[in-house]
Chains A and B, each alone.
Chain A
Amino acid sequence: MTGTAWREIILRSAPLLALVVLIVAITLLAGLADAVTVRRVILSLVNVVAVVGLYIFMGNSGVLNFSSVGFMAIGAYVAALLTMPANAKGMFLPDLPGWLMVAELPALAGPFIGGAVSSILALVVGLPIMRLSGIAAAIATFSLMFICYIVLGNWTSLTGGQISLMGLKSYVGLWTACAFAVGAIGVAFAYQETRWALALRASREDAVAASACGLRVAALRLGAFVLSAFVCGVGGALYGHFQGTLRVESFYLDPTFLLVTMLVVGGMRSLTGAVIGCLSISLLTELLRLVEVGVPVPGTTFTVAAAAGFGDVVLAALMLLILIFRPNGITGGREVLGNLARTWGRK
């Protein structure tokens, strides 16, 4: 390859490199912090995986998707059931089929198999649903999330139903979470550089014109949906193994809205927007939590503390303000450093 070609590739990858540096820097910094902060950072990194998974479909296709939390739940339960020790399963889920009862795969196989099962289900349900656009698509994916929630919450023999599933192997530490976050960002970036993603973004701007150009919009969307479900499934598995316990309630309305809001606040149409949205809302949440716990005023013995629940109010208000003043998100839907290739690459 010639020098200019390499230069082009490096410049095009600038957003990816910037994001990886950001994630690694956060991880390094968190390594110096106390145990509570470390846990919050791990959770943020797991959320990065989930929001990036959501972005892969929503960002490239422009179609609203509320089902990602459902795929996270599937990934989480699959990973848990396949890796939990048999005796723990025997305690919580005495009615499991025999083969599943004895299955005890290595922990790290969990996220990948969980993601794979999610993506297979996404392929099956996406086949018809990907023909829908706009509000119909939003409601159909919303319905999917509901169906996941209701089925998992009532399939007592398999999931324990409304009771929590405990005793998941806890292996999701700071660097594991970092590695998966970087991996998810890498997958999303690699995907958006493909010609399928380019075609999908063309259909986002004008679906009719794209179809007229011979693009098979439903098939393109399906591809992104399946990949998105895989990454979300991985995110769900990490979430479960980070918490150590699983409840279906963790995969219902609140996280659905939170993840979509993170994406939209950051800027739904760019990967940097997805990551920045997720990290900035995580940071805000953390700061507001500190305010609720109490902040000592320097030089005095006073601490300033807000009443419990106040942080949630401020967080919701801030998210609304961001949307009102930056309707296209913090990044405005552009890749940060994405102009490098265009401005310098031509020389």
Chain B
Amino acid sequence: MNALVQIVVDALSLGGLYALTALGIGLIFSVMRLANFAHAELVTCAAYALFALSAHPLVMAVAGSVLVAVALAVVTERLAFRTLRSADPTTMMIASFTVSMLIQKILVFSIGSRPKSLDPVPVLSQAVWIGGAQVSLLKLVTIAVCAVLLLALTIFLRRTSFGLQMRAAAENFTMARLTGVRANAVIVAAFALSGVLAAVVALLFTAQSGFVQPRLGVPLMITAFVATVIGGMGSLTGAAIGGLLVGVVTTLLQAFLPPDLRPFREAFLFALVILALLVKPNGLFPARGLKERI
């Protein structure tokens, strides 16, 4: 019973982080068909901002890191991705690699590759008891924050007129423009939102890991990217559920694989990914209008 509670908490908190990251990637993909690998660096730079502002109150540090991630997201869009909007998806994807590399190298060059330790929210490192099971407060908060953000994003997309415009643009970009939806506004907003999500992920993730280094965001981004593909590229519901699913499967593999196979945990995960793609090449929730593009 105790073990079960722990596994559920682990799975949901990990899945929540993946879901938020996957949503950040999915938002951009849905409006401009860009698989943005540089999302990793939004998380990394937000984490460095937390580190730089660690002497200040938490609210200021979080505000600063959100600002950094949003600014970086918008700047990469303006300088790199806007000119490539009509290029083919392969070129855009490779360009996002190089953007990701460029930011990493700048971080290594200016700050150095050695990890810096930080503990943004020390209060959360205590444990709480749920029905006789000891679980980390941080993980519970992570689950709560992820749930709140998912809800907020859903309300934004479903209930506001700008959210409606974003969904229309995701489905048929050209037609949306013909109804008057401003392409640049929607795309910049998607990048800004992905920056906000990245900053939240950076806070929750560094609170767990306790350090930041120039490649902090890369493994998260890769797993989340896989999650968006499993969920269905371009579908936001798919991205969120794909993220949760990957988190749950990872936790289960960790818990139930025989010990001598545990080092191969991720190999099993990626083998499952390939299997999932073979069964459902367009993901669990295939997006509409994937083929239409200017």
Contacts and interface: CB of A to CB of B under 8 A. Distances in A.
A143 B98 contact: no
The 7 lowest CB-CB distance pairs between A and B, nearest first, are A309-B109, A316-B102, A143-B270, A154-B263, A327-B87, A312-B105, A150-B267
A134 B99 CA distance: 21
A187 B233 CA distance: 36
Contact of A264 (B35, B91, B225): B91
Contacts of B225: 139
A315 B278 CA distance: 37
Contacts of A146: 266-267, 270
B109 A324 contact: no
Contacts of A317: 102
B186 interface: no
A64 interface: yes
Contacts of A142: 222, 226
Interface in A247-286: 253, 257, 260-261, 264, 268
A171 interface: no
Contact of A324 (B80, B104, B226, B271): B80
B229 A132 contact: no
B109 A143 contact: no
A312 B108 contact: yes
B34 to A, nearest CB: 11
Interface residues of B, number: 40
B152 interface: no
Nearest to A151: B267
Interface of A: 62, 64, 128-129, 131-136, 138-140, 142-144, 146-147, 150-151, 154, 253, 257, 260-261, 264, 268, 307-310, 312-313, 315-317, 319-320, 323-324, 327-328
A320 B282 contact: no
A140 B99 contact: no
B273 A143 contact: yes
Interface string B71-102: 00000000010011001111101110111011
12 contacts: A64-B93, A132-B278, A139-B273, A140-B274, A144-B274, A253-B218, A308-B109, A313-B106, A316-B98, A320-B80, A324-B95, A327-B88
B101 A323 contact: no
Nearest to B281: A136
Given A64-B90, A146-B270, A319 B98 contact: yes
B289 to A, nearest CB: 15
B33 to A, nearest CB: 9
Nearest to A320: B98
Contacts of B222: 142
Interface string B50-62: 0000000000000
A323 B94 contact: yes
B277 interface: yes
Given A136-B277, A261-B98, 10 more contacts: A129-B278, A135-B229, A139-B229, A143-B273, A154-B263, A154-B264, A309-B105, A309-B109, A320-B98, A327-B84
B273 A140 contact: yes
Contacts, number: 110
A324 B94 CA distance: 11
Contacts of B226: 139, 142-143
A151 B269 CA distance: 12
A313 B109 contact: yes
Interface of B is mostly: helix
Nearest to B230: A139
A344 to B, nearest CB: 32
Contacts of B84: 323-324, 327
B281 A132 contact: yes
Contacts of B233: 135
B94 to A, nearest CB: 5
Interface in B228-279: 229, 233, 263-264, 266-267, 270-271, 273-274, 277-278
A327 B105 contact: no
A260 B97 contact: yes
Contacts of B274: 128-129, 140, 143-144
A325 B266 CA distance: 38
Contacts of B108: 309, 312
Given A257-B101, A260-B94, A317-B102, A150 B281 contact: no
B258 to A, nearest CB: 14
A9 B89 CA distance: 36
A323 B98 contact: yes
Given A132-B277, A316-B105, A317-B102, A138 B270 contact: no
Given A135-B233, A328-B91, A128 B278 contact: yes
B264 A150 contact: yes
Given A132-B277, A139-B229, A151 B264 contact: yes
A144 B277 CA distance: 12
Contacts of A319: 98, 101
A310 B222 CA distance: 26
A78 B80 CA distance: 41
Contacts of B90: 62, 64, 264, 268
Contact of B95 (A133, A144, A320, A328): A320
A257 to B, nearest CB: 5
Nearest to B219: A253
B109 A147 contact: no
A143 B93 contact: no
Contacts of A307: 109
B6 to A, nearest CB: 25
Contacts of A260: 94, 97
A261 B273 contact: no
Nearest to B112: A309
